[in-house]
Structure 1
Amino acid sequence: MRRILTCLIGLILMTQTATANNIPIQEVKSPGGITAWLVEDHMVPVVSLQFAVRGGSSLDPQDKAGLANLVASTLDEGAGDLDAENFHKLLEDNSIYLSFSASRDEFRGGVKTLVANADMAWEMLSLAITWPRFDAAEVARVKEQIISDIQNNYSDPQWAAYRTMNNTIFAGHSYRLPGAGFEHTVTKLTPDDLRQWMQERMARDELLVAVSGDITADQLAPLLDKIFGGLPEKSKPFTLPEVKLQAAGKNFIIQRAVPQTKLVMVQPAVARADPDWYPATIINYVLGGGGFNSRLMLEVREKRGLTYGVDTQVQHYDHANIMVVGAATSNETAAQAVDLIKAEWQKMADSGVTAEELKDAQTYLTGALPLALTSTDKIADFVLQLQLEHLGMHYPQERLEKLNAVTAEDVARAAKRLLNTQALTLIAVGDPVGIKAEKLPDPAQTRGVK
């Protein structure tokens, strides 16, 4: 039955692939020289704009960890003459969705609006990024919310596993710092810190813009100056070193009196520009990224019932690339689950994939893109990501062609090169039986610092 369902899904995806892989992206330049990538779609009177400036939370000073996140969390808490209450009321009254976020490598913002309310939406976005208020009372309130969220994480084994992973493999690099910061660093952040961040980071030289929906290039060009023209021309220059992953092949335990052990395993992955990126994408899907069709789910969950779920994912950053395995199992079966994961890791390295696995992966991966681009904001976000990763306007079609060109021999070669059980770092949170590992302090006791 599963095989039939997979085939049916594949047929559906294949019928939509051609359209999605020919996204009509056009470049628009404003009179003031601001560039955006635009995908016009006049079927529905909605427009979405997404933007980013390079340089995210990884640029936060260690004693001000959480700064970029706090900026993102307070930019919509009043701007210009509008206090937080009136700012939010205008957004709600005009059905405007405005959001900001900070990740390791970039700071993002976005707005989605009905065409009828677009003028108001552009004005609200412009106000937020050029004249944010950062009123002391609102900043204090948001800081309390963030600190509360940080404290709530302490009891979560998954948080403890990933916090330990970041502290361990990214040791010595700013990638180890949590984007939300620590209790003690967020507590000390001030409105002046936020204003300084805006002066240093929110500038036109690192600005990328993507727009999708019911708007033409001629309409968009002058709007770019209206929205972003008030930003400084230059941001503060920055450089970040490449990450040298630490603790390869080591096992660590965070001891907790809980009935299950949370397992996280991680090793280096390939960069986007690597010739083996597309074979590695197939490897990830077959090994653990393909949900119930993946090898790890079949071996660890279905055949032996050791977990409700186990998966792999490739995390791609500007200065690091990692492949991560995540699972949870009973304390008594933790060692068995680890051994099974490593066995499948080695099996893939030794033998690659079958012809059937390759075809299923190609069908899904090439067909999944249309299902991901179902709204103007998702399309704008995708087009923005193309810019952030230097992939070019023709990437969707190139991706289709390169994925379909991958052979079983390519996968076998890449798997032998990339997968290495000796390089896997293991973090186990719980009271696992049979795992030999170094015990580390519980990050809940150190407030996430180590």
Structure 2
Amino acid sequence: MNLAETGTRTATSPTQALPLAAAPGIEAWHVASPVVPMIALSFTFEGGAAQDAEGKAGTAQMMARLLDEGAGDLDSDAFQEALAARAIELSFHTGPDSIGGSLKTLLTHADEAIRLLALSLAEPRFDQPSIERVRAQMIASLRYQQNDPGVLASRRYFREAFPGHAYGRSSSGTIETLSAITRDDLVALHRAVIGRGSLKVAAVGAFDEATITGMIARAFGALPEAGPLKAIPPTAINELGRRIVVDLDVPQSVIRFGMPGVAWRDPDFIPAYVLNHILGGGAFTSRLFQEVREKRGLAYSVGTSLTSHRAVAMTWGYTATKNERVVEALDVIGDEIQRLITDGPSDEELQKAKDYLTGSYALGFDTSTKIANQLVQIAFEGLGMDYIARRNDLVASVTQADIRRAGARTLGDGKMLVVAAGRPTGL
């Protein structure tokens, strides 16, 4: 187990890895923060919704939702009452490649919080009444979303982008797949994913090294090694250049579009990140925001982001506009992408993007929970304990040559897969 400790609340100084024998196989990072007498813990396990069996989409999400629905000798009601009695915040979440969670509690209640966390991970009950209640909640949510254009556009996008691949399935499943999930499916996935071998932990709080070492050992040390995970083959976005309509009787179409990307671990990620900020990630200053919203009033919001999964990376975009203006909006977006491909950003534009990205980085570390979440994500991506100290220098050193190289990999020839949910005119 490796423990990285810094003496600053914002975790911006270089860190030092220290081997700890309390719980072998666990990588944990620690930031001492004496400002508030509390502990914020974030953790993640390798293997998420992409591990769902064929015909059982939604298993990982259902399992994560059941982890705090009774554990050990506590049924669901007793477990929730134990959390509420001490205002302990415990939650779990699922991504395509991971299952993770977070814990927040006052230091005076840390022992009980750690006990409940350990129970939820090592001894979840998966009682049948709880399974049926969570299944019903998930199915009700799916039914509620059946006419949500944003949900429909996103699901169709991924189904077309990654046909036959785990990423093409919805992590929340369908009514049919949720109905097919059994307790044995949940137990099997838990056995495969929830283990020490793939665990990353970040802890922030008013405690010393020995204290947090003991807490982490109690919370995670009893977990077995995770079982073998299903291999997720590399993939790429299909249907680039295609425009797809999901017919929905609404006055405004919701649009999702995507192009290739680069993974967070890739050396070109930082240049691609700066380029994306200029294109659509920079909120009010991005080219798409200025051209689509400010100059033409085509949409209330428009933007892009870089998405990095284990088996694929992409540039992911969104907007919504009146049905009769969808084609115009897409043409403007395409034109701005082509301008960046042909001319690149101006030197002033590039410098402003770098100034903003370096100046705003510390805002992601202004609470203990944010620090823990950032650290565990950095650990999950394998970026190294010194990434926080290096990151702004990496951004500041991006050149026009770096931007052109990243643009060739992400913007390519400008072709996008586009899905519009609504009744767009002339698409």
TM-score, normalising length from structure 1? 0.89
Question: Are residues 1:21 and 2:21 paired?
Answer: no
**Secondary structure of the corresponding residue to residue 63 of structure 1:** coil
Shift, 1:300, TM fit: 1.0
Segments of 5+ residues of structure 1 without an aligned counterpart are: 1-16, 436-450
Q: Pick from 380, 396, 407 the counterpart of residue 404 of structure 1.
A: 396
Measured in 2, the distance between the counterparts of 1:273 and 1:225 equals 29
**Do residues 105 (structure 1) and 90 (structure 2) align?**
no
Whether the 8 Å CA contact 1:27–1:38 is kept in 2: the answer is no
- Tell me the CA shift for residue 20 of structure 1: 5.5
Alignment of 1:31 onto 2:31: no
Q: Are residues 1:266 and 2:290 paired?
A: no
CA change 1:401–1:136 in 2 (3 A) is: same
Instruction: Give the AA of the match of 1:333.
Output: R
Match of 1:434 in 2: 426
State which of 210, 215, 219 in structure 2 corresponds to 1:223: 215
- What's the CA shift for 1:66? 0.6
- Pick from 337, 343, 353: which aligns with 2:345? 353
Contact 1:68 1:197 in 2 (8 A): yes
**Cα offset for 1:289?**
0.6
Q: CA deviation at 1:328?
A: 0.8
Q: CA RMSD in A?
A: 1.8
Q: Summarize the Cα distance change of 1:21–1:353 in structure 2 as closer, same or farther, 3 Å threshold.
A: farther
Q: 1:355 to 1:194 in 2, by over 3 A?
A: same
CA contact (8 A) 1:204 1:233 kept: yes
Q: Deviations over 1:41-87 (max 9, x none)?
A: 11110111111110111010121111110111111111111111111
Alignment of 1:277-292 (within 5 A): 277-292=269-284
**Aligned counterpart, 1:370:** 362
When residues 429 and 220 of structure 1 are mapped into structure 2, their CA distance, relative to the original with a 3 A threshold, is same
Runs (4+) off by over 3 Å: 17-21, 23-28
**Which of 266, 289, 305 is 1:313 aligned to?**
305
Q: Which residue of 2 aligns with 1:394?
A: 386
Q: What is the CA–CA distance in structure 2 between the aligned matches of 1:335 and 1:433, rounded to whole Å?
A: 7
Shift of 1:192: 2.8
Partner of 1:429: helix, strand, or coil?
strand
1:156-195 mapped onto 2 (5 Å cutoff): 156-195=148-187
The Cα offsets for residues 25-46 of structure 1, whole Å up to 9 and x where unpaired, read as 6546242424411111111101
1:297 and 2:289 correspond: yes
- Per-residue CA shift, 1:238-284, capped at 9, x if unaligned? 32110132111111111222111112211111223433222211111
Deviations 1:92-141 (A, max 9, x none): 11111001111100110221110000000000001111111111111111
Q: Return closer, same or farther for 1:281/1:142 CA change in 2, 3 Å cut-off.
A: same
Q: In the alignment, is residue 72 of structure 1 matched against residue 64 of structure 2?
A: yes
3-state SS of 2:360 partner = helix
Of the three residues 140, 151, 171, the one matched with 1:148 is: 140
Distance 1:419 1:121 in 2: 47
1:223 Cα offset (Å): 2.6
Distance 2:9 2:46 in 1: 32
Report the number of matched residues: 419
The AA in structure 1 aligned to 2:92 is F
Confirm or deny that 1:133 pairs with 2:100: no
One-letter amino acid of the counterpart of residue 110, structure 1: S
Partner of 2:314: 322
Partner of 2:241: 249
Structure 2 match to 1:275: 267
Secondary structure at the aligned position of 1:62 is classed as coil
Contact 2:334 2:414 in 1 (8 A): no
Equivalent residues of 1:251, 1:427 under 8 A apart: yes
Amino acid at match of 1:203: G
The Cα of 1:318 is off from its aligned counterpart by: 0.8
Q: Which amino acid aligns with 1:168?
A: E
State the alpha-carbon separation in 1 of the partners of residues 14 and 367 from structure 2. Answer: 13
Identity score, percent: 36
Q: Give the aligned residue type for 1:182.
A: T
Q: Tell me if structure 2 keeps the 8 A contact 1:49–1:212.
A: yes
Letter in 2 for 1:316: S
Give yes or no for contact 1:204–1:235 (8 Å, CA) kept in 2. no
The answer to whether the Cα contact below 8 Å between 1:36 and 1:208 also exists between their aligned partners in 2 is yes
Answering whether residue 333 of structure 2 is matched by residue 341 of structure 1, we say: yes
Q: Secondary structure at the match of 1:154?
A: helix
Choose from 110, 114, 138 the match for 1:118. Answer: 110
**Conservation of the 8 A alpha-carbon contact between 2:22 and 2:221:** no
Alpha-carbon deviation of 1:417?
4.7
**If the length of structure 2 is used for normalisation, what is the TM-score?**
0.94
One-letter amino acid matched to 1:306 = L
The answer for unaligned runs of 5 or more in structure 2 is 1-7
